[in-house]
Chains A and B, each alone.
Chain A
Amino acid sequence: MNERALASPDRETERPPPVVEVRDVTRSYRLGGRGRRRGASDDGTTVHALRGVSLAVESGELVSIVGPSGSGKSTLLHLLGALDRPTSGSVRFDGRDAAGLSDTELAVLRNRHIGFVFQQFQLLARTPALANVALPLVYAGVGRRRRRERAREALEAVGLGHRLRHRPAQLSGGEHQRVAIARALVTHPRLLLADEPTGNLDTATGEEVLAILRTLNADRGMAVVVITHDPEVAALTPRRVHVRDGVLESGPP
């Protein structure tokens, strides 16, 4: 599978381009200053989170990313999700180079085609589950009634049809994460990215969450990339990518 991660799919002429593909990307952070600067020189105060990674995610794939803490998994996921730009190398969405897209165009891309599930859930407090799930649709310009319908459908799809008016403080950890998944799929994205969605949950609840992701992948053909450091979770995905010290390596079969 390592060859596949590094292969250039352009050679296979008949196949559609990958949903997202990174080629030889690096991402470094310069420490000390305010914020991040691109193209920082290697002067010892620069952290190289990614040092040349190539990876293609095909339409309908289910991929897990595993690796030790600090190896660059989240950094990679942010690049795959158009949340961040690489220091060098290219990112392509549906074959289109993201370097040519403005921040506004990337925002629209995230909104229409990508769903995120964060490790920390990232739900708006004081806001009912339904409104939390409907949030991406606000930025997609969907009308109020249609938003509510679609948010309800999404919550039903993750088994939370009975928790529409609950606020995050009134939900359990597993329910939090299911609301977060519902929010990620409410726009019917082609790509769903989950950063340790099971990290904060006990094993049983974590498995439930993973089962939902697998169902979405199988039933809706959504490409799903999930970060985990739980080998049991990773074992349930057909393709695994190992990250160590900012590079991909072959993992155990």
Chain B
Amino acid sequence: MSLAEAFKVALGAIAANRLRSSLTVLGVVIGVMSVVLLVAIGTGARDEVSAGIEDLGSNLLIVAPGGFEFGQAPTVSKFTLETVGDLERRLYGRALVSANLVSGETVRADDVSTFASVLGVTETFDEVLNRRVVRGEFVTESDVAMGNRVAVLGSSAATGLFGAVDPIGRTVSISGLRFRVIGVVGRLGATLGVDRDAQVLLPVTAAQRLFGTLRVDTVFVEVPEAEALDDVRGEIASELGLSLEPGDFSILSQEEILGVAGEILSTLTGVLAAIAGISLLVGGIGVSNIMLVSVSERTREVGLRKALGARSRDITRQFLVEAVVLCGVGGVLGIGVGVGLAQAAERFTPLPATITGWSIALAFGTSLVVGVVFGVFPARRAGRLDPVVALRYE
């Protein structure tokens, strides 16, 4: 029997049991849809995080506390403003150094309050991390030196606290301390649904007093000349080595952060895909089950076909094609639904979702493989039926 004939017979059998076939296909649709949707979300998350890191600029070195490897627990920083000052002096004229200190706090203005990440920063922070002041001015050297109680707001912190009113000159209070607003910085956008503009920037010294600490969390070093990046990195290491243990800090370029973040998010995507894979597996078992029913329902038909000259492999092929057609149809529909849901997620929820060609090809390919894998057992069973026994089957 030719493949075309096998297709015709398979389509006839599927059409003859429309409801049952549809329910079987539904299982595959759900599986394939989950694969497409979850991989899209994983990929979207990775793209978004990468874009956020790329915003930092490629000539930036980040000095972070502790080791920086996937899976390592965060370490409390041993950096102080003294560390920052030492680095500044050592790298003077060749690199620009900045530092920050971060804590999530409730920020109040008059009768409104909002949750924001409060960053203590040095006066070079806007330049080193590419923050553009859109209104007023940034924290100055003397603000840092004096520990002035001034604040620069991220764009959504500004609208959240003051609405349409110009915030410059007004005050915000954090843990009971009042800060005068001197500026607003431009939009950064959101990463993974986290608003990066819900920020309040204070002079690092004022922030240290507010949080009751002398540490800074992270030191940023901008190196204007890309060729000097490795030299500067070496100097940072030797300077920090004077006062700290080698395990107390790590120096990372943008590329290295991208690498680590990419690794984390690829793992996330993999986990999501595996979860989706389980539902595809369940769909496949459904196909297997229905094919067994289909075979036993058509035992006499199989016996007849064999009596009339069908070889075992003709029968096996007929049922295998039926299973693959069910899965293929489920695959196509599942891709359609998955792409639709991914686009809806992208548009209507903070979840990012990026559809990639490979994930669609993979999902469709997998659905066909599921058809073969789960169809082969029932199909071979049909092929092995003894014609005399099958013809007598009630």
Task: Choose one: A35, A36, A110, A141; the contact of B308 (CB below 8 Å).
Answer: A110
CB within 8 Å for A126 and B308 given contacts A78-B388, A139-B1 = no
- The smallest beta-carbon distance between A124 and chain B, in angstroms, is 6
- The smallest beta-carbon distance between B223 and chain A, in angstroms, is 75
The B interface, classified by DSSP as helix, strand, loop or mixed, is helix
- Residue A135 lies at the interface, judged by CB distance under 8 Å to chain B: yes
- The smallest beta-carbon distance between B311 and chain A, in angstroms, is 4
- Residue B389 lies at the interface, judged by CB distance under 8 Å to chain A: yes
- The number of A-B residue pairs with CB atoms under 8 Å apart is 60
- The smallest beta-carbon distance between A206 and chain B, in angstroms, is 22
B307 touches A83 (CB 8 A): yes
CB within 8 Å for A107 and B310 given contacts A84-B388, A138-B1 = yes
Which residues 113-159 of A have a CB within 8 angstroms of B? 116, 118, 122, 124, 126, 135-136, 138-141
A83 touches B388 (CB 8 A): yes
A122 touches B388 (CB 8 A): no
A122 touches B16 (CB 8 A): no
- The smallest beta-carbon distance between A135 and chain B, in angstroms, is 6
B312 touches A108 (CB 8 A): no
A104 to B387 alpha-carbon distance, docked (Å): 12
Q: Which residue, B12, B309, B388, has most C-beta atoms of chain A within 10 A?
A: B309
A103 touches B312 (CB 8 A): yes
Which residues 47-65 of B have a CB within 8 angstroms of A? none
Q: Which residues of B contact A81 (CB under 8 A)?
A: 307
A36 touches B386 (CB 8 A): yes
Q: Which residues of B contact A135 (CB under 8 A)?
A: 305, 308
Task: Choose one: B307, B309, B389; the contact of A108 (CB below 8 Å).
Answer: B309
B314 touches A36 (CB 8 A): no
A141 touches B304 (CB 8 A): no
Q: Which residues of A contact B304 (CB under 8 A)?
A: 122, 124
Q: List 27 A-B contacts (CB under 8 A).
A: A35-B389, A36-B389, A78-B388, A83-B307, A83-B387, A83-B388, A84-B388, A104-B313, A107-B306, A107-B309, A107-B310, A107-B312, A111-B309, A116-B307, A116-B308, A118-B307, A118-B391, A122-B300, A122-B304, A124-B301, A124-B304, A126-B12, A139-B1, A139-B309, A139-B311, A139-B314, A141-B2
A141 to B2 alpha-carbon distance, docked (Å): 7
- Residue A92 lies at the interface, judged by CB distance under 8 Å to chain B: no
- Residue B263 lies at the interface, judged by CB distance under 8 Å to chain A: no
- Residue B5 lies at the interface, judged by CB distance under 8 Å to chain A: yes
- Residue A242 lies at the interface, judged by CB distance under 8 Å to chain B: no
Which A-chain residue is minimally distant from B310 (CB atoms)?
Answer: A139
Q: Which residues of A contact B12 (CB under 8 A)?
A: 126
- The smallest beta-carbon distance between A75 and chain B, in angstroms, is 9
- The smallest beta-carbon distance between A72 and chain B, in angstroms, is 13
- The smallest beta-carbon distance between A83 and chain B, in angstroms, is 5
Q: Which residues of A contact B309 (CB under 8 A)?
A: 107-108, 110-112, 136, 139-140, 187
A126 to B307 alpha-carbon distance, docked (Å): 20
- The smallest beta-carbon distance between A214 and chain B, in angstroms, is 23
Q: Which 4 A-B pairs have the closest CB atoms?
A: A111-B309, A139-B309, A136-B308, A107-B311
CB within 8 Å for A35 and B310 given contacts A118-B391, A124-B304, A138-B5 = no
Given A84-B388, A126-B12, 4 other A-B contacts at CB below 8 A?
A35-B386, A138-B5, A139-B305, A139-B308
Residues of B within 8 A of A (CB): 1-2, 5, 12, 16, 300-301, 304-314, 386-389, 391
A168 to B386 alpha-carbon distance, docked (Å): 25
B305 touches A122 (CB 8 A): no
- Residue A178 lies at the interface, judged by CB distance under 8 Å to chain B: no
A162 to B174 alpha-carbon distance, docked (Å): 95
Q: How many positions in chain A have a CB within 8 Å of any CB in the partner chain?
A: 26
B307 touches A110 (CB 8 A): yes
Task: Choose one: B310, B386, B391; the contact of A122 (CB below 8 Å).
Answer: B391
Interface string of A31-51 (1 = CB under 8 A from B): 000011000000000000000
A108 to B309 alpha-carbon distance, docked (Å): 6
- Residue A176 lies at the interface, judged by CB distance under 8 Å to chain B: no
- The smallest beta-carbon distance between A78 and chain B, in angstroms, is 5
A107 to B391 alpha-carbon distance, docked (Å): 15
A135 to B314 alpha-carbon distance, docked (Å): 13
Q: Which residues of B contact A104 (CB under 8 A)?
A: 311-313
- The smallest beta-carbon distance between B359 and chain A, in angstroms, is 40
Q: Which residue, B1, B307, B310, has most C-beta atoms of chain A within 10 A?
A: B307
B2 touches A111 (CB 8 A): no
Q: Which residues of A contact B391 (CB under 8 A)?
A: 118, 122
- Residue A240 lies at the interface, judged by CB distance under 8 Å to chain B: no
- The smallest beta-carbon distance between A82 and chain B, in angstroms, is 10
A139 to B302 alpha-carbon distance, docked (Å): 13
- The smallest beta-carbon distance between A189 and chain B, in angstroms, is 10
- Residue A183 lies at the interface, judged by CB distance under 8 Å to chain B: yes
Which residues 179-212 of A have a CB within 8 angstroms of B? 183, 187
Q: Which residues of A contact B300 (CB under 8 A)?
A: 122
Interface string of A214-253 (1 = CB under 8 A from B): 0000000000000000000000000000000000000000
Which A-chain residue is minimally distant from B385 (CB atoms)?
Answer: A35
Q: Which residues of B contact A138 (CB under 8 A)?
A: 1, 5
Q: Which residues of A contact B1 (CB under 8 A)?
A: 138-139
A187 to B309 alpha-carbon distance, docked (Å): 11
- The smallest beta-carbon distance between B131 and chain A, in angstroms, is 73
A213 to B353 alpha-carbon distance, docked (Å): 71
Q: Which residues of A contact B16 (CB under 8 A)?
A: 126
A112 to B311 alpha-carbon distance, docked (Å): 12
Which B-chain residue is minimally distant from A122 (CB atoms)?
Answer: B304
A118 to B12 alpha-carbon distance, docked (Å): 24
A251 to B249 alpha-carbon distance, docked (Å): 107
- The smallest beta-carbon distance between B387 and chain A, in angstroms, is 5
